[in-house]
Amino acid sequence: MATQRTPTPEQALAAFSPGLPFAVALSGGADSTALLLACARRWPGQVRAVHIHHGLQAAADGFAVHCQSLCTALGVPLVVRRVHAAHGPGQSPEDAARQARYQALAEAVHTEWPEVRDVALAQHADDQVETLLIALSRGAGLPGLASMPAHWHREGLNWHRPWLAMPGAALREWLQLEGQSWVEDPSNTDERFTRNRIRARVLPALAQALPAFRETFARSAAHAAQAQEVLIEVATQDLLQVGVPPRIQALQLLSRARQALVLRHWLRQHHATTPSTAQLTELLDQVAACTTRGHRLDLKAGQGHVVREGLQLGWHAD
């Protein structure tokens, strides 16, 4: 059986058409080093770089030094931003660091280069598989199974992941051929983290059993993302019908599945929170039981509580 040929970094960038100039998020690792090198060669003088210094480990200063040296050699302007990502209750340190990183990236771009509207990130095919497997291990729905999008809009910027068809090993091989060094994050080998265990143990086994797993898993994630887009359209239409905040009687006219869909959408879009499956199940049960004026409702949902306020639902942050 013929196997699909891995694209070169240059070929992977063929489908990437950012507005110029644009920025690259540069950690100093192999993936972002390869991205900056390939982009600087293809769009000379049009690339900017942002390095986020988390200060979470002793090696962080070395990452910044590498990034500065690389950018100087390539003639790429670099800005370094330091962040302190303290995680809140129920939030993982990794998620807190990721949220802080995106915010710092956006602020750096808006402040340093107001003309920039596009940012490239270096997540690759292995990262996408890891994200999908983590979502499966948590029993995620379609939003989780859709994994990482190739393009999206956030904080007034267009974000891109041009490496999603590239295996991580192919990027490292290319850097070695180019004689380009990178830095290794010591935490990437710490198997206390689920993503690292998947990388070290699961991906090699998948490569043995299912050689085309990167392509087929990515296809499944794309199908999930397409289905999720349809559900968002349905939820948006239903929310127009039930109102903001949702009217209880209007909710009760919908099927239970569509109630779940519209309540998730309401909480996510208007209160930036997502209920757990157990919380949503209890909320649906209580909505069904709201048949009298005296029925009270006060349930935990994400980072707050859904309450009954007369004929409609309300939400109070913790």
Q: What is the pLDDT of residues 187-209, one digit of tens each?
A: 778 888 888 999 999 999 999 99
Nearest to 39 by CA among 115, 122, 97: 122
Nearest to 102 by CA among 77, 124, 121, 129: 121
Pairing assessment for the beta strands 118-120 and 298-301 based on DSSP bridges: unpaired
Local confidence band at 235 (pLDDT 50, 70, 90 cut-offs): very high
pLDDT of residue 1 exceeding 50: no
**CA separation (Å) from 150 to 90, 219, 275?**
28, 13, 26
Q: Are 198 and 188 in contact (CB under 8 A)?
A: no
pLDDT of residue 3 exceeding 60: no
Cα separation, 61 vs 68, whole angstroms: 11
* Mean pLDDT value across residues 257-261: 96
Residue 186 is predicted with a pLDDT of: 78
Q: pTM for the whole thing? A: 0.85
CB atoms near residue 315 (< 10 Å): 19
* Mean pLDDT value across residues 249-269: 96
pLDDT of residue 233 exceeding 50: yes
CB atoms near residue 128 (< 10 Å): 21
pLDDT of residue 126 exceeding 90: yes
Residue 91 is predicted with a pLDDT of: 53
Which residues lie across from 151 on neighbouring strands? Answer: 160
pLDDT of residue 56 exceeding 70: no
pLDDT of residue 89 exceeding 60: no
* Mean pLDDT value across residues 146-171: 93
Share of the chain above pLDDT 90, in %: 75
Residue 60 is predicted with a pLDDT of: 72
Query: Which residues 6+ apart lie within 8 Å of 73 measured at CB?
Result: none
Q: Are 25 and 122 in contact (CB under 8 A)?
A: yes
pLDDT of residue 34 exceeding 80: yes
Q: What is the pLDDT of residues 61-88, one digit of tens each?
A: 788 999 999 999 999 999 999 887 655 5
Local confidence band at 2 (pLDDT 50, 70, 90 cut-offs): very low
